[in-house]
Structure 1
């Protein structure tokens, strides 16, 4: 019988981080469903919902590598605390703007852009901080537990957000989201971070350090392959999951509660994917498991199935399956990458991973949203899934033949 790899929880330091971060993650996921609903309610446009998702993730394309270099040079605990303060401020600003009637499309874009900049910094910080809260041999367990924690919040947050919007209103929901961030800030103050384990490489100037990170990705086959496969999955599968308000309300007329249910279904699928990955045998270094690669192709085909779903229950099931695949693959590829890194390279390389995932999600959400307005939401998902699965399969066949 395979035992779930939760060894990192033996560390009280890491337990403090996990228990605090769940509050911040709940706030983020509640905000995602709330802001997505406001964008749809204000405009009734799939394109605008996709644009908001794009603005949320696009800064990561440009800024995450720069933040990654910064994280490798500063006190990661203090830097993380600073960025979480910014996140709290943005969430509170959303509440104020909505309460006084200033939250129009333009102000939504501005606040979301600030949130996106903080998110661009958060990715390399989170991926650098968590592994340094435990011994190096527990990094694989850390990746799995952090992903499970993330997806528990992904399950509960949308459900709570959708119910709260329908019962106490959008303004009160936004306020609760801001307040939920406070326990995470307290937890961060209590952490003890393992000293950085540096290599003998001199990082040199800021941009020389960035070049070294890019070169490390290029010359490490498993990292490069993870980036390519992860980018394809993020663009189509995660991009589709970022524009679910039109599916919940535009296709199935389920309102904000339906959106909460739909996002909860994706969260449940993601949690199962996280535990499934944790229950698998420990991942060998230097490779991406075959089960992950196969699951990704199936996941892209599930996007087509979501577009073709004739009923609400089937749509919920397929969305959960897509989330299962995205989580399983993300943990597998993050583990493969993290196992190839020393501490002084972790921020730079993981920031490039954030560029691929967040950038792919941003581009995919916007492109799919625009296409949905042009040819229909379900038609867009159907053809995007078919074509991306075929393209990725072709890439895998060619890369395998080339060795």
Structure 2
């Protein structure tokens, strides 16, 4: 039965706290985007402000992964949340005092990005330490479902909040939303886990985590697949504004439709995964996601009808979610606990940086070949990498 993991009080409390916080975070990101436009009326500044919130997650999250493996995870998570509350309160106070110009907003967003980079790895790591082992796949899948739902609901609530309470009121709501996660961390039971030795520098232990990934063939294969899926599968989804405006001439309403379809695809795939407890079924889902993703990406490139593009985008979102969430569950199930923080933080980096990197490469290539041909090339390349890795792997049914 799907969502059996919710019968576990620990996980249910943890998920509820995170859900409240996620909604607040998406609401605030909407408010920050609106404020950056109000302050500058510059799309370039809007992009810079968004980038400031994500770059720390790409570059320094793995360093925090080292600390997670060294420290008590509950204390680390609580410390991160208190820092995030402090940073968000600082943003609120600066705005309330009328001191929040675009440069101050940029500085605040860098701090918020650092706080998120510190908390993101522990959020993923704690799923394994809180959820029952038999329902780990369900727990990770349900997290993905809730994340996709809040990513759609949060911005809508953010728009309502900005209209009703203003930007400052939305900042206050987000600051208070962290209290839900803080409460859940104070009351849930976290299973004890092994820690890495504290000897050696942070860089040494980070490299030790990389060597650990390389030493386990299955983990290395999962990382290669993750990069291919993120860059050449989800990377195409980052170009949806260009497809909506430049290929289908459907405007903002068309973009909203395509984004909603993508969100629906992710949710459907997450629900499918949430009923999975057997390893063999999980491997089948991963194989299907990896095997079909490139086909849907290529289909988007040859789609001349908007409805066909909708079908393609639903397939891209669903297959990439099946593959990426399934692989995360497989990775988490077999990780040595001493390396969990480092490996999960590196995994998070690939899933965040991959789409951005892929979108930048594909966007540059589109100036030469056009967007439709870029999607076809991306789909073919994604299929070649995914099928090639699965064919050579003993972990997947395509292997010999």
With structure 1 as the length reference, what TM-score do the two structures score? 0.80
Q: 1:192 aligns with which of 189, 195, 201?
A: 189
The structural deviation recorded for 1:136 is 3.1
Q: 2:264 aligns with which of 243, 268, 271?
A: 268
How many residues are paired up?
388
Say whether the 8 Å CA contact 1:156–1:267 is kept in structure 2: no
Query: CA RMSD for the aligned pairs?
Result: 3.7
Cα distance in 2 for residues equivalent to 1:292 and 1:224: 18
2:371 paired with 1:390: no
2:153 paired with 1:156: yes
Cα distance in 2 for residues equivalent to 1:164 and 1:261: 23
Say whether the 8 Å CA contact 1:218–1:224 is kept in structure 2: yes
2:339 paired with 1:345: yes
What 5-or-longer segments of structure 1 have no aligned partner?
A: none
Cα distance in 1 for residues equivalent to 2:215 and 2:281: 16
Cα distance in 2 for residues equivalent to 1:238 and 1:99: 38
The structural deviation recorded for 1:56 is 2.5
Deviations 1:244-280 (A, max 9, x none): 778889975549xx98777555443322221022235
Q: Say if 1:285 and 1:272 are closer, same or farther in 2 by CA, change over 3 A.
A: closer
Say whether the 8 Å CA contact 2:221–2:389 is kept in structure 1: no
2:22 paired with 1:25: yes
Identify the residue that residue 67 of structure 1 maps to in structure 2.
64
Alignment of 1:73-84 (within 5 A): 73-84=70-81
Identify the residue that residue 143 of structure 1 maps to in structure 2.
140
Say whether the 8 Å CA contact 1:154–1:264 is kept in structure 2: no
Deviations 1:267-322 (A, max 9, x none): 433222210222356333995731121243245347647xx7876x8877765554
Identify the residue that residue 215 of structure 1 maps to in structure 2.
211
Alignment of 1:3-402 (within 5 A): 3-4=1-2, 6-39=3-36, 42-45=40-43, 48-98=45-95, 102-166=99-163, 168-197=165-194, 204-206=199-201, 207-239=203-235, 241=237, 254=252, 265-280=261-276, 282-284=278-280, 289-298=286-295, 300-301=297-298, 304=301, 321-364=315-358, 371=364, 375=367, 380=371, 382-399=372-389, 402=392
Cα distance in 2 for residues equivalent to 1:286 and 1:269: 18
Say whether the 8 Å CA contact 2:300–2:309 is kept in structure 1: no
Deviations 1:25-58 (A, max 9, x none): 111222333334445664453x555444433322
Say whether the 8 Å CA contact 1:286–1:340 is kept in structure 2: no
The structural deviation recorded for 1:84 is 2.0
What 5-or-longer segments of structure 2 have no aligned partner?
A: 394-400
Say whether the 8 Å CA contact 2:121–2:341 is kept in structure 1: yes
With structure 2 as the length reference, what TM-score do the two structures score? 0.80
The structural deviation recorded for 1:188 is 1.7
Instruction: Tell me: higher relative CO, structure 1 or 2? Use CA pairs within 8 A at least 6 residues apart.
Output: 1
The structural deviation recorded for 1:344 is 1.7
The structural deviation recorded for 1:79 is 1.2
Q: Indicate the SS of the match to 1:355.
A: helix
Deviations 1:121-171 (A, max 9, x none): 222201221211144333223222222232232232122223434555444
